[in-house]
Amino acid sequence: MAGIIYYRPAFSVKCCPPQNDFLQCLSLHLPNKTGISSVVYTPNDASYLSILLSSVRSLRFRSASTPRPQVIVTPFEESQIQTTILCARENGMQIRIRSGGHDYEGLSYTSQVPFVVLDLFNFSEVAIDVDQKTAWVGAGAIIGQLYYRISQTSKTLAFPAGACPTVGVGGLFSGGGYGPMLRKFGLAADNIIDARIIDVNGRILDRKSMGEDLFWAIRGGGGSSFGVITAWKLKLVTVPETLTIFSVGRTIEQNATQLVHKWQYIAPNLDEDILLSISIGPVNSSGAAGGKTIQANFNSVYLGGVDKLLPLLEQSFPELGVRREDCTEVSWIQSALFFGGYSIQVSPEVVTSRNPETRSTLPITRYYFKAKLDYVQEPISIKGFDGMWKLLLEREANMGELLVVPYGGKMKEISETALPFPHRAGNLYKIQQLAYWEESGAVASERSISWSRKLHDYMTPYVSKSPRASYMNYRDLDLGVNNYNGGDGKTSTSYAQASVWGLKYFKNNFKRLVQIKTKVDPTNFFRNEQSIPSLYSKSSSKNN
């Protein structure tokens, strides 16, 4: 099927001229001009909305008021991507590239100007070479598909990437990609050894032909600023057949504040085989004032058996009181189920579905949400945490959360210039701040987003400074956006404007990213509200 393309002979589209011209261009340049129903979708197509919404992971962007693409292209092969780029350039249409649809601000499928969504879900093949311990994975695959395929091939091979199974590898890897094994193996991007990308001129490039500068840029600098990545080659890692997981909860009445405070001195310095993260939020409690309290859940994976883990914890963090009965020995794929919000008893195949019938318990997959992120470089005081708890208690039970992940281990050994992702040595941990809500509508949304901003403001004295750093894969448009020139919809390429958010994501690596962008996409064709700018760009509606 991948080699057969069907094209609609005529377009019954009532829309702006650029869209009609774009569709006409596709019909002229794509081969086998007999129909386009399996590749190109417009709002007049019955399946348009289902395809659009199938990978809209944030409920904030599922409403009818969210700007929608004039066209969705779902290519089966690279030549169709080449043609899409050509026609979009010729007709002044922006391209938004979607892999899994988890962009926190919806930039892979929304825009304020006429645009095309290039949805890569058909590029989902995973090919594993066990002997070489490598894998090629299509940029449209989700990490659950990658994990499952690896687990069906070997009991001791794995890949260090994210937790949520429906996240697409195209965006995750190009932004860095952290997960439960980051202290042992670093980021996903640290373990990528080749890639295929289609540039603004339609050239298909691999690592050798793109050169080391561009290969550096797309591993942590955001691939969608530089072209369309179609596949990644991964260096797989070796893990034991047996891992150990546990999750223990402590409320503030059970000394949670003191435990979280001490955790700061311990977790970043533990053996690199251990990840001990924390999720903190308000929960109902009949015995607490106001009927709510704060609970900290200490979640862990250890690359080894429980008999080795317990002595390490007893020596380093006896106050946590982890018992043998709290621990479960699992395979690597079962640990992925655990961190992905599933019971380890379910079939691992559940993680291969983009829209699984068995829903994950991860709140981010169930509720409207707004997220912010900070890096902590000095331990926070007890008083500082008390202030966070006060703000969390303003939320309904389970509707506010701090996700706290320690660094150290491999992360402090890698230079901050090795990849565009700069957040390495010097960071104790990162702390993601999340507001969740269930009610639709602008009022509920603004109320929760305002709360997230208030919490973020409170965090200011306790987190990194100059710049106050953040992580591109937790995109936050509050940090700043690229300008638009008047009403013509063309993105400004001001270095000064983009550096407002760019330095927070990339620190001093931002300057090198801009230099590479200027070289490979000088007219800034691949752009969005937080794309890397080109120094020479003056975007025009034609040939840009």
**Tens of pLDDT along 297-342?**
999 999 999 999 999 999 999 999 999 999 999 999 999 999 999 9
Q: Which residue has the tokens 């281990």?
A: 409
Provide the residue type at 510 as one letter. Answer: F
Provide the residue type at 121 as one letter. Answer: F
| Alpha carbon distances (Å) from 351 to 67, 165, 189 | 30, 6, 21
- Is the pLDDT at 170 greater than 50? The verdict is yes
- Is the pLDDT at 151 greater than 60? The verdict is yes
Evaluate whether residue 312 is within a structural domain: yes
The phi, psi pair for 59, rounded to 5°, reads -60, -25
Based on the domain organization, do 155 and 225 belong to the same domain? yes
7-37 confidence digits (pLDDT tens): 333 333 344 567 889 999 998 888 664 457 7
Based on the domain organization, do 149 and 218 belong to the same domain? yes
CA–CA gap between residue 18 and residue 88 (Å, rounded): 9
Residue 112, pLDDT score: 87
User: Which residues, 6+ apart, have CB-to-CB distance to 345 below 8 Å?
Assistant: none
3-class SS of residue 297 = strand
C-beta pairs of 444-450 under 8 Å, 24+ apart in sequence = 444/368, 445/60, 445/368, 448/368, 448/370, 448/399, 449/370
Counting Cβ atoms within 10 Å, is residue 12 exposed (0-12), middle (13-18) or buried (19+)?
exposed
49 or 38, higher pLDDT: 49
Q: Alpha-carbon torsion 512, 516, 521, 523, what sign?
A: positive
Evaluate whether residue 220 is within a structural domain: yes
Evaluate whether residue 453 is within a structural domain: yes
User: Which residues, 6+ apart, have CB-to-CB distance to 425 below 8 Å?
Assistant: 411, 412, 413, 416
Based on the domain organization, do 372 and 263 belong to the same domain? yes
Tokens of 449: 């987003």
Other beta carbons less than 10 A from residue 309's beta carbon: 25
Based on the domain organization, do 180 and 106 belong to the same domain? no
474, 495, 505, 536: the active-site residue: 474
- Is the pLDDT at 486 greater than 80? The verdict is no
Based on the domain organization, do 419 and 453 belong to the same domain? yes
Residue 544, pLDDT score: 39
CATH code (residue 91): 3.30.43.10
Cβ atoms of 131 and 157 within 8 Å: the answer is no
Report the b/e string of 273-295 with b at 16+ CB within 10 A: bbbbbbbbbbeebeebeeebbbb
Q: What is the DSSP letter of 142?
A: B
- Residue 474: active-site member: yes
505-524 confidence digits (pLDDT tens): 999 999 999 999 999 999 99
Evaluate whether residue 293 is within a structural domain: yes
User: Which residues, 6+ apart, have CB-to-CB distance to 363 below 8 Å?
Assistant: 369, 398, 401, 434, 436
Q: What is the mean pLDDT of the chain?
A: 92
Other beta carbons less than 10 A from residue 208's beta carbon: 9
| Alpha carbon distances (Å) from 247 to 276, 313, 325, 402, 432 | 9, 13, 11, 16, 19
Among 459, 477, 504, which residue terminates a domain?
Answer: 459
Based on the domain organization, do 150 and 299 belong to the same domain? no
- Report the side by side order of strands in the sheet with 228-235: 126-129, 134-138, 228-235, 192-198, 204-205
Based on the domain organization, do 254 and 225 belong to the same domain? no
Based on the domain organization, do 273 and 138 belong to the same domain? no
Among 429, 459, 489, which residue terminates a domain?
Answer: 459
Evaluate whether residue 514 is within a structural domain: no
Give mean pLDDT, residues 217-232.
Answer: 98
Among 101, 119, 137, which residue terminates a domain?
Answer: 119
Based on the domain organization, do 379 and 443 belong to the same domain? yes
CA–CA gap between residue 260 and residue 271 (Å, rounded): 18
Evaluate whether residue 214 is within a structural domain: yes
Cβ atoms of 303 and 239 within 8 Å: the answer is yes
Least confident of 47-56, 255-264, 332-341, 531-540: 531-540
Q: How many domains does the chain have?
A: 3
Provide the residue type at 217 as one letter. Answer: A
CATH code (residue 161): 3.30.465.10
Based on the domain organization, do 58 and 184 belong to the same domain? no
Per the confidence metrics, is the pTM higher than 0.85?
A: yes
Share of residues in the chain with pLDDT > 70 (%): 93
Where do the H-state alpha helices sit in 154-221?
169-175, 182-185, 207-210, 212-217
Q: Where are the beta strands (DSSP E) in 289-418?
A: 292-302, 327-330, 368-376, 400-406
Cβ atoms of 287 and 239 within 8 Å: the answer is no
Cβ atoms of 248 and 297 within 8 Å: the answer is yes
CATH code (residue 442): 3.40.462.20
CA–CA gap between residue 149 and residue 153 (Å, rounded): 6
Based on the domain organization, do 150 and 37 belong to the same domain? no
437-456 confidence digits (pLDDT tens): 999 999 999 999 999 999 99
Domain ranges, residue 219: 126-238
Other beta carbons less than 10 A from residue 345's beta carbon: 7
72 has which bridge partners?
41, 117
R_g over Cα of the chain: 23
Based on the domain organization, do 141 and 90 belong to the same domain? no
Residue 290, pLDDT score: 83
Torsion of CA 300, 301, 306, 307, to 10 degrees: -100
Evaluate whether residue 543 is within a structural domain: no
Q: What is the DSSP letter of 107?
A: T
Evaluate whether residue 493 is within a structural domain: no
